[in-house]
Amino acid sequence: MAVETGPVSRVATSARRGGVHGRPRRSTSWSGWAKTPLHLLAITMIVPFYWMVITAFKPVSEITRNPPSFVPEGPTTVGYSDPAWRPDADTPGHVAGLFQRFTEVDLRFWRFAINSVVIAAAVTVLALLAASLAAYVITKHDIRGRRVIFLMILGSMMIPWQTTLIPNYLVVRNLGWIDSYLGYIVPAIPKAFVVFFLVQYLRSIPNDLIEAARIDGAGEWRIWWQVVMPLLRPALAAMSIFVMLNEWNNFLWPLIIVESDRMANLPVALARLNSAFTGAQHMGVIMAASLLASLPTVVFFLLFQKHFTGGIAMSGLKG
């Protein structure tokens, strides 16, 4: 039996869906106001980045002016290279640009950028490979004491990393890895949090896939590489952001093991740049270096943002 839909019923249906003529409910407006603190917090994070960008393209006369300007009046690239500066002459209002410094190092500033890229890429790849292999063994192998091993890995996360600086330094020094890439990379490969994250992710994967591969005659190494690793791709993309950003911004450990300028990474180079050239007239050079050092991290996060949210949602760590 058909029921005729009249004006009264249509109005009632419209009210249930959010009000007459489809107007949103009052809760929608309240949810928008509830996001205001997040917007304010975002502004507090964007303003320092904006100040860094505009200062990197200001001339020295504008940087040292009081009060400061929030929009560059004469944008320039003298913070990177100033053609009017001469090393053997007094040039008021001009300082050596970023690419005109670190003359004692081959490739100058780009040497530090290459060091950071090599170290961050190597640590990210090796740490994810090692953590995925450990998570696979802990999750999909019925070995004796695997729960104890997992608890020990979790317990290592509770130890402040500063307490391991001296033992790690002594080990690296005895191995002859001071001022080398090995001293950077090898101690940074074990990542307890990455193992914990991948274990939670692998627990959601059915064991039938692993058993089917074993029945087909695949070895454990082949199963790990061709079955487990493709399934871990979203989680690995999420963890790559954490590992890469941590190694890119690593400062204290490189400061300890680096003895020559040629092996310094970008954070150490920025610290030496700031301490060696003080004064407001050099702030443009420091901001130019900071801008170049921060751009790769922003680009990396934007490229892997979707994988990051997907990996978090499927790992079992969501709220």
Question: Secondary structure of 11-78 in the HEC alphabet?
Answer: HHHHHHCCCHHHCCCHHHHHHHHHCHHHHHHHHHHHHHHHHHHHHHCCCHHHHCCCCCCCCCCCCCCC
| Average pLDDT score over residue span 101-110 | 90
Check whether 3 has a pLDDT greater than 50.
Answer: no
Q: What tokens were used for 181?
A: 């890439």
Q: Which helix (H) or strand (E) segment is 82 a member of?
A: none
User: pTM, whole model, 2 decimals?
Assistant: 0.81
Query: What whole-number distance in Å separates Cα of residue 66 and Cα of residue 69?
Result: 8
Q: What is the pLDDT of residues 36-54, one digit of tens each?
A: 888 888 888 899 999 999 9
| pLDDT category of residue 67 using cuts at 50, 70 and 90 | confident
What DSSP character marks residue 216? T
User: Which has more confidence, 6 or 153?
Assistant: 153
| Average pLDDT score over residue span 284-312 | 82
Across the chain, mean pLDDT equals 84
Cβ burial 148-177 (10 Å sphere, 16+ → b, else e): eebeebeeeeeeeeeeeeeebbeebeeeeb
Check whether 151 has a pLDDT greater than 50.
Answer: yes
Residue extents of the structural domains in the chain: 109-306
Check whether 310 has a pLDDT greater than 80.
Answer: no
Please name the fold of domain 109-306. Answer: MetI-like fold (1.10.3720)
Q: What tokens were used for 95?
A: 């300082």
Q: What tokens were used for 44?
A: 């507090």
So what's the pLDDT on residue 69?
Answer: 86
| pLDDT category of residue 294 using cuts at 50, 70 and 90 | very high
| pLDDT category of residue 99 using cuts at 50, 70 and 90 | very high
